[in-house]
Amino acid sequence: MTVNQGKVLVTGASGYIALHCILELLNNGYEVKGSLRDLKRENEVRKSLGTEFNNNNLEFCKLDLLNDEGWDDAASDCDYLFHIASPCFVEEPKDENELITPALEGTLRALKAAHKSKIKKVVLTSSMGAIAYGHNKSCCNTNDWTDTSKDVGAYIKSKTIAEKAAWDFVDNQTDESFSMTTINPGMVFGPLLSNDIEGISASLVTKMITGKFPALPDIYFTVVDVRDVAKLHVLSLTNHHSDHKRIIATSQKGIPFLEISAILRELGFNKSPKSLVPTPVINSLAMFNRDMKSTSSMIKRGRYGADISETISIFDWEPIPLKKTLEDMTSSFSYSFGESGIDPNEKNYKSGN
C-alpha cells in the first residue's frame, strides 16, 4: 500500500500536461485537488484518468485565472501546488493581452494563495519560450531569458512575463514560506489522455498526418515527451536540489520541423509533408497575417539547443526518445480522432493497416 505523500493542488486540471501530472501524482501516492474553470468537466477529467482513480484521492474545485474567488480556500488544505494553468491559443490572438493578462494574474493569484496557506513547495510550469527567444544564443541555459522587447509572439511573451513575476514574488518574500521550482519544457509531444486534439502539438501532428500541411516552415525547436514533463514535476516536490531552480526539460538539440514529419512517415503516416515552404513566402505573408508573423519570427530564431546537464544531474533523467514519443502520441489519437470523426488509421492517412 502506497504511503500518502500529501495533497497537491493542480491548476488547469483538464489540460494536456496537467492530466499527465495528475496521473503521475496519483501513481506515486499523492492526493490531488484539480482546479477547473467549469466543474461540469469533472467527469470528463475522471474519464481521461481512468476508473481506478475515481476515489477519495482525487477531488476538484473551481478556479479562474482572472478571478480572486476560491484561491485561498483551494490551497488551504494542500501541501504542494502545481501551477500549470495558462492560456494557450493555437492561433496568434489579435490582442497579446488575451494571453499575457491571465498568465500573469493567474500566476500571482496562485503564489499568493500558496504563501497564505503555507504551501511547502510550488512547481510552476513555464516554458523554453521564456528562455530561448529574442536573442541568438546557440545553446540556451537557465541563466537566459527571452527578450520580450523583440517580436517573439504573444504566447512566448506571456510565459516569460509570468515566470519573471513568479521569481520576483518568491524573491521578495522575507519569510521564505515556500520553495519554488520552474519546469521549462520545449515543444511537448506524447500521448493524449483526453479527446482534446486542439492543443498546439496535437494540432500540429494532426495536420501533418492528415495532409493538411502540404509543406512546413523552416523552424527548429527543442522537444520533450509529456510523460517526462510530468515526471520532473513530481520529482521536484521531494528533490531539494531542484529548489529555487529553473529546470530545462527538453532535447539537447533543436529538431527541424521536417525531422518530426520524417519520423511520422517512418511510422506509416505517408501524408506527412516532405518539403519546406519558402521562407520569403512566409515573410511576405507576415506583413498582413498574425500567424505568419509569429512563424516568421520563429524562423529567424534559427537552430538552437539547450544545456540540460543540470536536469540530468539533479534527476538522473533519461529523456524518452522522440520516435517513441511520436509513436505513442499517434497511437493515442485512435480514441481522440474517433471522437472527432477522423480516423488516422484509414489508408488515406496511414499505410499498412
Q: Looking at the domain assignment, is residue 244 inside a domain?
A: yes
Confirm whether 167 is domain-assigned: yes
Confidence of residue 14 (pLDDT cuts 50, 70, 90): very high
pLDDT at 353 (0 to 100): 34
Residues 266 and 164 in one domain: no
- Does the structure show a pLDDT above 70 at 53? no
Cα separation, 331 vs 178, in Å, equals 40
Residue 293 pLDDT > 60: yes
Element (H, E) at 328: helix 322-340
321 pLDDT more than 60: yes
Looking at the fold, whether 34 and 138 belong to one and the same domain comes out as yes
* Residue 352 confidence (pLDDT): 36
CA 170-179-34 angle, 5° bins = 95
* pLDDT computed for residue 268 by the predictor: 95
For position 339, what pLDDT does the model report? 47
Residues 320-349, mean pLDDT to the nearest whole number = 71
> What pTM does this model have?
0.92
Q: Which residues are catalytic?
A: 159
Range of the domain at 196: 189-221+255-302+321-353
Q: What pLDDT is recorded for position 156?
A: 93
Q: Does residue 61 surpass a pLDDT of 60?
A: yes
Say yes or no: 244 and 107 in one domain.
Answer: yes
Structural domain contains residue 171:
yes
pLDDT at residue 343 tops 90? no
Which residue pairs, CB below 8 angstroms and at least 24 apart, start in 332-341? 332/191, 332/192, 332/193, 333/192, 333/197, 333/202, 333/205, 333/206, 335/192, 335/195, 336/192, 336/194, 336/195, 336/196, 336/197, 336/202, 337/197, 337/206, 338/195, 339/195, 340/195, 340/197
What was the pLDDT predicted at 351? 42
Total domains in the fold of the chain:
2
Of 8, 13, 14, 24, the residue nearest 231 (C-alpha): 24
Average pLDDT for 94-121:
96
**Banded pLDDT at 341 (limits 50, 70, 90):** very low
Residue 2 maps to a domain: no
pLDDT in tens, 136-192: 999 999 999 999 999 888 999 999 999 999 999 999 988 877 999 999 999 999 999
Instruction: Residue 311: give its domain's CATH number.
Output: 3.40.50.720
pLDDT computed for residue 277 by the predictor: 87
pLDDT at residue 327 tops 70:
yes
Band of residue 93 on the pLDDT scale cut at 50, 70, 90: confident
Are residues 205 and 270 both part of a single domain?
yes
